[in-house]
Amino acid sequence: IKKIGVFTSGGDAPGMNACIRAVVRTAIHDGLEVVGIRQGYQGMLESNFWDMSARDVGNIIHIGGTILKTARCLEFKTPEGTKKAYDNLRSYGIDALVAIGGDGTANGASRLSLTHGIPVMCIPGTIDNDLYGSDFTLGFDTATNTVIEAIDKIRDTAASHNRLFFIEVMGRDSGCIALRAGIAGGSEAVLLPERDTAIDELIEKLSSHANNHKSSSIVIVAEGDKNGGAYHVAERVKEKFDFYDSKVTILGHLQRGGSPSSFDRVLASRLGFAAVRALLNGKDRQMVGLRGNAIVLTPLEEALHFSHFKLEDDLLEMINVLSI
Ligand code: ATP
């Protein structure tokens, strides 16, 4: 391997820049050339390449988003699109790839490697924390901290007015942000895509809290909750339970931005460093992740085969216990 390509793809996540920095500098340190591919697979189709130096990744470790930009690209998924991307990579002399993104990104990298033989390493970069092969994905810690900061502020006003707040957080298929934010933000209930929570059950819980002299409550609703989102849940609760004045806050895209936490910066650096070293050691088609406190490689087939919802049983139980 002489020249590696690095790209970010799918949804952006805080920590991607720190990871790009680690990939670029490890590669240069180890005698490789590095090409940044802008806008993920779209950039491969357009040969949107950037010969990167160690200085190009200076002063980005603390910045959210991704300097390489990201995109979703349907054309790449076709056999012709995949071949065109590969041909463009080869004609630029790129002979291995580091992909930073979610499961779609890893699927695309897997396809490139399987159909055309280019070695790939995937780094789990998504705020959703829903990838197998790593206990934590890049951006999840920062996004959860952002949510907690918002909950804390909402709590001040909720407590001052005897209010019931429904706060909708990101997570179409994964309740990881909602559950952690629910625990760390001291919320009364959490509605998750992985679990069916009946509205009556929620009302019963809120009533018992009210009977226990709670003057305000915070309910975290993951956007993928099967009841249809925070507005819908609030409407339905209000029909039967109007002890509190209720309000809805949708946190939306602010959860994606911001300076990465120290945890995400260190994780990004470790994963980027390990991905380059793994390529140099002849590895291919692996997800680079953190398990326990160790960096581990998981074959992409295995990583993509398992849908992995990391909802810890103790956290699920604790929501009920600690909110009495
Ligand atoms: P996030 O979890 O933040 O949504 P993601 O990486 O899963 O990130 P996707 O939009 O699913 O985001 O995928 C990013 C890109 O990867 C797609 O736009 C497409 O170009 C490519 N891709 C996704 N799935 C496949 C697939 N099955 N085969 C080939 N390429 C794919």
Q: What is the pLDDT of residues 160-184, one digit of tens each?
A: 888 899 999 999 999 999 999 999 9
Convert the pLDDT of each residue in 219-264 to its tens digit: 999 999 999 999 999 999 998 887 788 999 999 999 999 999 999 9
For the entire predicted model, the pTM comes to 0.96
pLDDT of residue 71: 92
Whether residue 124 has its Cβ less than 6 Å from ligand 1:
no
**Residues ≥6 apart with Cβ < 8 Å to 164:** 158, 206, 216, 217, 218, 219, 237, 243, 244, 245, 246, 247
Neighbours of 14 (CB within 10 A): 31
pLDDT of 14 over the 90 cut: yes
Ligand 1 pocket test: pick from 39, 74, 107, 177 the residue with the most ligand atoms within 8 Å of its Cβ: 107
The answer to whether 152 is a known catalytic residue is no
What's the CA gap between 58 and 25, in Å, rounded?
10
111 lines ligand 1 (CB under 6 A): yes
pLDDT at 324: 86
Pairing of strands 96-101, 3-8: parallel
pLDDT in tens, 263-299: 999 999 999 999 999 999 999 999 999 999 999 999 9
**In this predicted complex, what is the ipTM?**
0.97
Report the b/e string of 206-217 with b at 16+ CB within 10 A: beebbeeebebb
Residue whose pair of structure tokens reads 């690209």 in the numeric block:
73
Report pLDDT for 280: 98
* Minimum-distance ligand 1 atom for the alpha carbon of 12: 3
Q: Is the pLDDT of residue 144 over 90?
A: yes
CB of 145 shorter than 6 A to ligand 1:
no
Q: Whose CA is nearest to atom 30 of ligand 1?
A: 108
* pLDDT higher than 70, residue 309: no
The lowest-confidence range among 189-193, 206-210, 222-226, 270-274 is 206-210
- Ligand 1 center–CA 238 separation, angstroms: 39
The answer to whether the CB of 108 is under 6 A from ligand 1 is: yes
- What is the structure's pLDDT at 242? 78
Angle (deg, nearest 10), helices 262-280 and 140-161: 160
Strand 245-250, strand 163-169: pairing: parallel
Report CA(73)–ligand 1 centroid distance (Å).
8
How remote is the CA of residue 194 from the centroid of ligand 1, in Å? 21
| CA 323 – CA 79 distance, rounded (Å) | 52
Q: Encoding tokens for residue 32?
A: 């490789």
CB-count exposure of residue 135 (10 Å: 0-12, 13-18, 19+): middle
Quote the pLDDT of residue 7.
98
**Res. 74: pLDDT tops 80:** yes
Ligand 1 centre and the CA of 212: distance in Å? 47
How many CA atoms within 13 Å lie on the side-chain side of 230?
A: 24
Distance from Cα 10 to the centre of ligand 1, integer Å: 6
Overall average pLDDT of the 54-81 stretch: 97
- Range in 55-59, 137-141, 207-211 with the lowest mean pLDDT: 207-211
Mean pLDDT of the chain: 95
Pocket flag, ligand 1, residue 73 (CB < 6 Å): yes
Q: What is the pLDDT of residue 106?
A: 97
Residue among 77, 256, 285 to mutate when testing ligand 1 (max atoms within 8 A of CB): 77
Query: Using CA atoms, how far apart are residues 304 and 301, in angstroms rounded to an integer?
Result: 5
Identify the pLDDT of residue 307: 65
Q: What is the pLDDT of residues 89-112, one digit of tens each?
A: 999 999 999 999 999 999 999 999
Among residues 12, 87, 128, 200, the one annotated as catalytic is 128
Question: Is the pLDDT reported for residue 306 higher than 80?
Answer: yes
What is the pLDDT confidence band of residue 209, given thresholds at 50, 70 and 90?
confident
21 labelled ligand-binding: yes
pLDDT in tens, 109-138: 999 999 999 999 999 999 999 999 999 999
**2 phi and psi angles, rounded to 5 deg:** -120, -35
The two structure tokens encoding residue 211 = 């009977």
Say what the pLDDT of residue 308 is.
63
